[in-house]
Amino acid sequence: MADMKTEARAQVSTNSEPFYKFKWIPSSAELLEAAEKRILRYVKTRYEGRFVPCNTGQSRLWTLMFNSKHPSRMPFVFVHGFGAGVGLWAQNIDPLCQQRPFCAFDLLGFGRSSRTKFSKSAVLAEQQFVESMEQWRNQLKLDKMILVGHSFGGYLVSSYAMKYPDHVQHLVLVDPWGFPEKPDNFESRFPVWVRAIGTVIMTVTGTILSVVRTAGPYGPDLIKKGRPDLQGKFSELFDDDTITNYIYHCNAQDPSGEKAFKTLMSSWGFAKRPMIHRIHEVRQDIPITFIYGAKTYSIIDSSMGRKTQEIRQGSYVKVHMIENAGHHVYADQPKQFNDLLKQTCEDIP
């Protein structure tokens, strides 16, 4: 792979942030595409990749489709979390494609999808995500889907199911973000200096990953050093920086999706509009399965699955916990995750 600092001098960024006009950031749409292809070399199932128009053709969602020639069974549709992309499903695709078609797309504003401008209203920004998903479904002529959403994706597929229940066969929420309310005393759990640094970073940079972009050619090293666990999660496939390189390029582009996420977020990573107060709006005949990693983040709060069971009494709600897994449960314990998902969907056709 070419040296990142050399690439920084050669690449022209389309971003509008001040640092970008000096070609400081060693990333581009082409480098992101190459990073994704590097991951997909390890996927054995043949696939079709294309940009699907949404938002009346003004935006496009990058989409991968596996086993699409066998439409007789309900397809999986996987929706990634914050700062991620379709490449992170690398350990799930082959096993799950044996059962039914598998589709995955980069959320609007993330990965290789269009970096559109989002509303600064939490309600309207959420609607933009949901409408792009519905237009994507309509373009692909999918009648019904098994929607599998991880983290931020779990929040969005829940919102989608509320508005478009006729197209959801089963809602699978994998360590979903945005369910709990922020506890009144949450900040007091941290030292004053930690609270101060967090406030300064969010105030000055504006978005969570701006530090990585601001670091320019040193950004890839920040990803590697800041999240060394990511490489370990995929060690059965890669013994190099394939995953961290992909994550870097996913997040070095125009951060429009990242800004939209910040619009939906209150302080300390909690949602402004907690999903636990709205999950009752999902139609009662839609089954919901929660899959949590036993070592997940505190702000995810795995008790929300049980809370949902209480709220939706009389409706199918199952909660599963996978041991020795954290927030990225699909990558921490891929075999257990894949087996559980296959069995769950066999139990509910």
- Residue 119 is part of a domain; what is its CATH number? 3.40.50.1820
Q: Which of 70, 109, 137, 78 is nearest to 254 (CA)?
A: 109
Contact yes or no for 116/125 (Cβ under 8 A): no
Domain membership of residue 231 (yes or no) is: no
Domain membership of residue 32 (yes or no) is: no
The highest-confidence range among 8-22, 42-56, 117-131, by mean pLDDT, is 117-131
Domain membership of residue 13 (yes or no) is: no
pLDDT attached to residue 235: 92
Mean pLDDT for the chain overall: 88
Instruction: Specify the pTM.
Output: 0.90
Contact yes or no for 315/285 (Cβ under 8 A): yes
Domain membership of residue 303 (yes or no) is: yes
Q: Tens digit of pLDDT for each residue in 175-192?
A: 999 999 998 877 666 676
Domain membership of residue 253 (yes or no) is: no
Is a pLDDT exceeding 90 seen at residue 140? yes
Q: Which of 330, 338, 332, 286 is nearest to 308 (CA)?
A: 286
| The total number of structural domains that make up the chain | 1
Contact yes or no for 308/157 (Cβ under 8 A): no
Domain membership of residue 245 (yes or no) is: no
CA 263 to chain centre: 16
Domain membership of residue 297 (yes or no) is: yes
Q: To the nearest 5 percent, what fractions of the chain are helix, strand and coil? A: 45, 15, 40
Q: Tens digit of pLDDT for each residue in 163-175?
A: 999 999 999 999 9
Q: Which of 108, 136, 153, 149 is nearest to 259 (CA)?
A: 108
Q: Tens digit of pLDDT for each residue in 18-56?
A: 444 446 889 999 999 999 999 999 999 999 999 999 976
Is a pLDDT exceeding 70 seen at residue 338? yes
Residue 153: domain span: 42-193+259-347
Domain membership of residue 309 (yes or no) is: yes
